[in-house]
Structure 1
C-alpha cells in the first residue's frame, strides 16, 4: 500500500496538479477502476477518487475515457457527482463525492425493504432520464455500477459503455462485451446476436432487462446468470407482475423502466411508500400550503427507525430547518428536527443544528419558543456551556416576563435543564432575580413550579446566600393560598434541609411550619408533620451536643457584693413543680440578707422579758404616736409619692396570697401576646434621686422590704377596697420615713393632716418611664433578601 501511494505521488508530480489526497483503498467487485477514499486539500472535505492505470490496462482505455466524458456532460441528481478529473499518459483520476459501493450493503443485507424500494425508485428515475431525455443506453446497469452517497442516496456510475443511440459508432457496440462480468448480465438477445442487435430492438430494452436483474440482486444479494431472471424469491409481491415484464425474453415485450416507474406510482402501487413520498416533496417544503405541509409531517411521523439515517441527516434535516426558520414550519417541524438530531454525532449537531437553534431563540414566535424550551433536554448535552450562558440564556429570560402563561411556565421548567450550563454569576444574579418574579406570578401553577425549581437547583446557588434565599422563598410559599404551592414549599424545605443551620431551623423555619399543622387541606397537614419531624430530629440531635450551661461558675458565696441579683438554679426537689425556679429565686434573695431589720428614728429596742411573760406581740414594734410638728418636719424633708407610685403600691398585696388571688389569673395570661412579651424593653424609670420602692419592686438594692409605704397606701384606699392580710391591719412602723410617707399620702386625719397639706412643697413628680410594648422590627420576611 505504501508503495502504491509513493507511485501515485510520483505520477502526480510529473503531471497536472491534482488537489486531492489519496486515502484508503475501497474494494470493488469487478470494475476497470480502482476506488480510493480521499480528501480535498483545500478544505479537508471527503471525496472519492477513481483511478485508472493506463500502462497495465490499455485495452480498456477507450472505456475509461468514455466514462470521464459522460460523467462530465451528463448532469442528474441520480448520477455520480464529479468534482475534478485529471488525464495523463499513465493514469486517469476522477474525483467525486464520497461514495460507498452498493454491494457492501446488499451482501450484508443491511437495508430494509422500504429502503431498497426507495433506492430502486431513484435509480428508475435516473434510467428513465438516460433513456428518454438523453436518448442513451447505459449498457452496464448492475449492483457493481451503483454507489451510495454520504446522504444515503443511490448514485449511478459505470458509464464505461454509456452511449447515445444517435451515434453510429457508439462505443457500446464494440466494447459492451468487454465490461467486467458482462456474461452474467447480458440480455438473451444480445448474447445470441451480439451487441449490434441493440439497433434492432427498442432503445430501452437493454436497460430494462438489467434493471430487472438489479431488482433480483438487491433483494437476494447476488445474481448468478440468466436462469435466475424472472424468479420472485424475496421480491415484494406487489412487484412481481411488473418485475417479470422487465426481464421478458422478448425485448419487444419488455416494459420500459419509465413504464415500470409509472406502475409503481399508481394509487396503492409498490412505490407508494411514506419514504418515497417524503423524498419526492422535501425539496419544495417551504413552498407547500399548510395542508400539504401537514400531510408531509404525517408521512414523516410514520417512518420507522430502519430508514436511511444518512439521508435524514444530509437531506431532510437541512430542509426542515429552513422550513422552521423561513418557511413557517412551526413547532411540529422542529419536533421532527429534534427526532432526527438524536442520531447525529456531536460534531454534526454542532455544525448543522446549533446555529439554527441560536437563531430560533431570537424568534418572536411563542409557539417556536415553547417548542424550543420543551426540546431543550434533548439537545442540552450537545450545546457548549459558552453558547448556553452567553447566547441562549440572554434570549431565554424574556420568557420569564412574557404575557402568555405557557411561555412563563415552560421557561421556569427549562431552568432545571440549563442550570448546569450557567455560570455562578448568572445563577446568583440574573436567574434569581427572574425567579423572584415568577414566585409572585398570578398563576398558582407557575408559583408552585418556581418553588419546585428552587428546591432542585439549591445545590447550584452560592453558599453565601443559599439559606437566605431558600428560607425567604419557601416560608413565603407556606402562606400561599394555593394548596399545592404550600405542599411544594414543605417538600422543598425537607429536601433542602441540609442547606440550613440549626439556628435557622429553630428560629425561622419551625415557626413558619407550625401553621401548616392545622392547614385546611389534609395533603398539606400530612406533609407538614413529616417536614416538622425532620427538622425536630435534627434540632434535638444538635441540642444533645450542646453544653448544659454557658453561665460562669460562682466565685464567692457572699452575694451581698453583687449589684445584680442572680437567679438560683433549680434543685431536684424544686424541679417537681414548674414554679420551683421562681420560688427558689425569691427565697434565695431573702436568705442572703443577714442580721435584723433596724428601726430608724427614736424607737428603742424592747426590753428583755421574762420567760413567764406571755409572748403575745413578739417581733412586732410598739406603735408610736407622732406629733403634728414632727409630721410637718418629715413632710418637708421627704419628697411626695407620685401618683404612679401610689397606684402601683395599691396592688402590692398581689405578692401576698389571699382568698381572691386567682380571680384575675386567666385574664392576665390571656392578654399577654407572645411578641410583646419577648420584645418589650427591659429598661426601668430613672428617678432624679433614689427611687421609692413600689409594689412591683418591694425590695430595694439592700434587700429591705418597704412595708411602711405599702401600709400608708392601704390606709387611704377607697371604700370597697380589699382588706389587709391578717396580722397587718394595725401594724405601723415608728420610723420617720413611715411618718413621712403617711403625711405625703394624706391618709391621716385631723390637724396634722391639714397642716401638712399647707406646707407641702411643690416638687415635680417623678414619672416612671413608659415601656414600649410594640413588637420589634424583625425585617420583612416577604422579601427575598439582598441576594434577590
Structure 2
C-alpha cells in the first residue's frame, strides 16, 4: 500500500506546494472530449492558504506525449501563459517546471463542455453572456496581434466558480509579428481535432492561413457560437459540423445568428474579424440583462457613493425583479451569485461601514450612507440565503453578527425580516452570545414595527435560546410587552409565552402561566382573550387541582360574563366546563362517608379539659358534655357549669384590667373552714396587691341546690379576718388607685347605697 502511495506521489508531483484532488480532465481515458486535451487537469488546494486552484499537468516523460510530440504544444502554452495577460484569459497563479513535469496553476475552473453537460447555466441569457465574454477576449487577443488558432468548446474555454467563461488553450497561440516559432503553422498538425473545424480553403494546407490569419479565429469563433447553442444535440462526440449546419445556425437567437453566419463564410476575405463582429452585435449584447448587469458590476468600484446607491436601488433591483429570490437560479449563471455578486456586495458594504462619518459630514450624507448600508445588507441577506452552509458561514455570517450590533432601525428590520431564511445557518452559540441580547433591545424601541418584528423573531430563535436566558431575561421583557399599546403585540406576546412554557423553571412555571393568561383574559382586545382561553385549554394538564379551584376557575368565571364578545363567553364556557369536569372527576373518587363533625372539638377538650379525681368523675363527665358544638351554633352551658375545679380557676385567674378603678369592698365574716358551706367560686377573685386593696370575698347566693363540697384547707390558705363584726355598718377600705388621681372620698358615704 505504501508503495502505491509513493508511486502515485511521484506520478502526480506531490512534491509541489499544492494538494492534488480529483481529476477533472484525463487524456488517458481515451474518451471524448478528454482525449483532445494536452493537459491532465486536477482540482487542487494551495498548501499555503488552503485556497482552491486548478492544476494543469503535462508529463514530459510520458511515451504517448513524446510519440505525438504533445510536449511541444504544452511548452508553447506554458511560455505564452506567462506572456499573455489580458482580461478574459484564465488567471494564472503559478508556473512550475521540472525535468518530468510542466505545471500551470490557475484559478479553479471546469471545462465548458462539462459545465454545459451538467445543465449548469444552460439558460439562453447565460449562454449569450458567455459568448459575449469569449468574443471580448478573442477581440483583445487579436488586437494584440496574436492568433489563438484553437478556439473550441472542448478544451480551450473554461468556466470559473463565478460563472465567467475564460479563454485558455494557448497551445497554438502565435504572435504574428515577433514569434520565431510560429506554432500555428509548425504545430497545428499535432493539435488533436484541429482539422475538424476549419474552412474549406485551408483544410490540409495551413500555409493558406497566412493570407488572412485573423480570419481563422473568426471562423473558429463562429463554430464555437453554433456549438454552444447545439451542444445538447451532439453530446459527448467529436464535433464536425457541415457548412449547411453552420449556415443554418439552428437554435441560435435570430439577432445573433444573422451576424454569426458571416463568421462561418467559407471565403476568408468575406469573413469579419472578431473585433468587427463584436461591434456589429453590440446592440444585441447590450440588450441582454446579464451582460449589462455584469458590466455595471465590474464598473462599480470606480463609481462614487451616489452612483453606487443608484445602482443598488435601481439597476440591481430591476435586474433581480424587486428582490424576487425565487427566480435567482434563472437570473444568474451557476456560481455567479455566490462567487461574484455577493463578494462584490460584501466588499462595498465593508468599505462603507468602515468609512466612519467625519465632523464635516452633513445629515444628508449620513442618511445616504445609512440607506446604502441598509440596501446592501438587504441584498446580501436575500442572495446569501440559498448558499451552502460552509460558504454562508465564511461570507455572510460575519456580516450578520456585525450588523446586529448597529442601532439603525432600517438595518435591524432587514435582519429580522430575513431571519427565517438564515436561521438554519446560525448555531446556538451564535444566538445566545452574539444575537439574543441585541435582539432584546428591540422591545424598548419606540417604533412599533421594530417591537412587533422583534417579538416575531424571538419566536423564530427561541429553540436556540438557553433556559437561563428565557427565565432571567426574556420573561421580564415579555411581562412588559403584555402591556404594549399595540393589541397585536400583546396577543403575540401571549403566544410566545405559551410556546416557551416548557423552558420556564418548574418552581415558577405555573404561577407565570396563570398570571400571563389571566392578564390577557382581561384584555380589551378580543383575539387576545381568545388566545388566553386557547392557552388555558392547551395547558390544562400543567395545573394542579388546587390551582384550578383556587385561581383558574375564578378567572374563567369572569370571562363567562364578558360584556363585549359573545364569542369569548361561548369559548369561556367551554373551557370552564373542561376545568370543572377535571375537578368533578377527582371529587367523585373521594370517600363518600362524612367525618365526625364534632371530632375537632372533642380533640380540643381531650387536650385541655381539667383532670379530676375518681370521686368527681360523674361531675366531670356531665360538665364536659356541656362544652359541645351543635350544628345550629355554639352551645356553652355557662349557667350549668360546675364552679369547682382547675378549669374554673383558669377562667377566674385572669389578667386584671389595669385601666379599671378599684371597687370598694366590704369586709367578709370569718368563716369556720371546717364547716361545710355552699360557696360559689365564680366571684372568688385573687386581687392583685398592686392595686393597694385587701382580699375581699363577695358572697353570691345561688338558689340552685347543690351537693356540699368540702374545702381542702391544705391546698387553699385561710382568709385573714378583717376584725369586723357582722351587723355593724362600717366604712369600706379606700382602694388605692394605680392612676394616683387626687380624688376626695367622703368618709360617711360607703357608695353601696344602703345597709348590707
CA distance in 1, matches of 2:404, 2:601: 79
CA distance in 2, matches of 1:477, 1:334: 37
- 1:190 maps onto 2:213 in alignment: no
CA change 1:549–1:317 in 2 (3 A) is farther
CA change 1:304–1:597 in 2 (3 A) is closer
CA distance in 2, matches of 1:179, 1:552: 115
Q: 1:23 aligns with which of 12, 21, 40?
A: 21
Q: 1:537 aligns with which of 573, 577, 581?
A: 581
CA change 1:61–1:554 in 2 (3 A) is same
CA distance in 1, matches of 2:142, 2:130: 18
Residue 9 (structure 1) aligns with: 9
Q: Deviations over 1:651-704 (max 9, x none)?
A: xxxxxxxxxxxxxxxxxxxxxxxxxxxxxxxxxxxx9999xxxxxxxxxxxxxx
Q: 2:414 aligns with which of 368, 371, 388?
A: 371
Residue 298 (structure 1) aligns with: 318
Is residue 188–residue 226 contact of structure 1 (8 Å, CA) maintained in 2?
no
Is residue 22–residue 36 contact of structure 1 (8 Å, CA) maintained in 2?
yes
Please state how far the C-alpha of 1:130 moved relative to its aligned partner.
1.2
Q: State the secondary structure of the residue aligned to 1:344.
A: coil
Please state how far the C-alpha of 1:505 moved relative to its aligned partner.
2.0
CA distance in 2, matches of 1:527, 1:763: 73
CA change 1:559–1:190 in 2 (3 A) is closer
CA change 1:162–1:298 in 2 (3 A) is same
1:232-631 mapped onto 2 (5 Å cutoff): 232-266=249-283, 269=284, 272-285=287-300, 287=303, 288-293=307-312, 294-301=314-321, 303-306=327-330, 307-327=332-352, 328-329=371-372, 331=374, 333-519=376-562, 520-548=564-592, 551=595, 585-586=630-631
CA distance in 1, matches of 2:447, 2:600: 75
Residue 717 (structure 2) aligns with: none
CA change 1:229–1:532 in 2 (3 A) is same
Q: Deviations over 1:28-73 (max 9, x none)?
A: 2411112222222233333222111223324233321221122223
1:146-157 mapped onto 2 (5 Å cutoff): 146-157=157-168
Please state how far the C-alpha of 1:128 moved relative to its aligned partner.
1.8
- Structure with the bigger RCO (C-alpha within 8 Å, sep 6+) is 1
Q: Deviations over 1:538-590 (max 9, x none)?
A: 3333333444579579789999967999xxxxxxxxxxxxxxxxxx9446977
Q: Deviations over 1:720-740 (max 9, x none)?
A: xxxxxxxxxxxxx9879xxxx
Q: 1:68 aligns with which of 70, 78, 81?
A: 78
CA distance in 1, matches of 2:174, 2:544: 88
Farther-moved stretch of structure 1 (3-12 vs 238-247): 3-12
Please state how far the C-alpha of 1:504 moved relative to its aligned partner.
1.6
Is residue 599–residue 734 contact of structure 1 (8 Å, CA) maintained in 2?
no
Farther-moved stretch of structure 1 (320-329 vs 178-187): 320-329
CA change 1:196–1:518 in 2 (3 A) is same
Is residue 149–residue 155 contact of structure 1 (8 Å, CA) maintained in 2?
yes
CA distance in 2, matches of 1:688, 1:506: 52
Residue 172 (structure 1) aligns with: 184
Residue 658 (structure 1) aligns with: none
Is residue 79–residue 126 contact of structure 1 (8 Å, CA) maintained in 2?
yes
Residue 43 (structure 2) aligns with: 37
Root mean square deviation of aligned Cα: 4.0
Consecutive unaligned residues in structure 2, runs of 5 or more: 26-33, 353-370, 610-628, 644-663, 667-681, 686-701, 706-734, 739-756
Is residue 455–residue 492 contact of structure 1 (8 Å, CA) maintained in 2?
yes
CA distance in 2, matches of 1:422, 1:86: 52
Is residue 141–residue 211 contact of structure 1 (8 Å, CA) maintained in 2?
yes
CA distance in 1, matches of 2:280, 2:575: 72
Q: 1:93 aligns with which of 103, 126, 150?
A: 103
Is residue 458–residue 496 contact of structure 1 (8 Å, CA) maintained in 2?
no
CA distance in 2, matches of 1:102, 1:494: 62
Q: How many residues align?
A: 592
CA distance in 1, matches of 2:400, 2:546: 47
Residue 755 (structure 1) aligns with: none
CA distance in 2, matches of 1:239, 1:90: 46
Residue 125 (structure 1) aligns with: 136
CA change 1:163–1:598 in 2 (3 A) is closer
Q: State the secondary structure of the residue aligned to 1:47.
A: strand
CA distance in 1, matches of 2:394, 2:309: 29
Is residue 44–residue 52 contact of structure 2 (8 Å, CA) maintained in 1?
yes
Q: Scaled by the length of structure 1, what TM-score is found?
A: 0.67
CA distance in 2, matches of 1:48, 1:218: 23
Q: Scaled by the length of structure 2, what TM-score is found?
A: 0.70
Consecutive unaligned residues in structure 1, runs of 5 or more: 566-583, 601-634, 638-686, 691-732, 737-760, 765-788
CA distance in 2, matches of 1:457, 1:217: 60
CA change 1:70–1:529 in 2 (3 A) is farther
Residue 162 (structure 1) aligns with: 173
CA change 1:109–1:345 in 2 (3 A) is closer
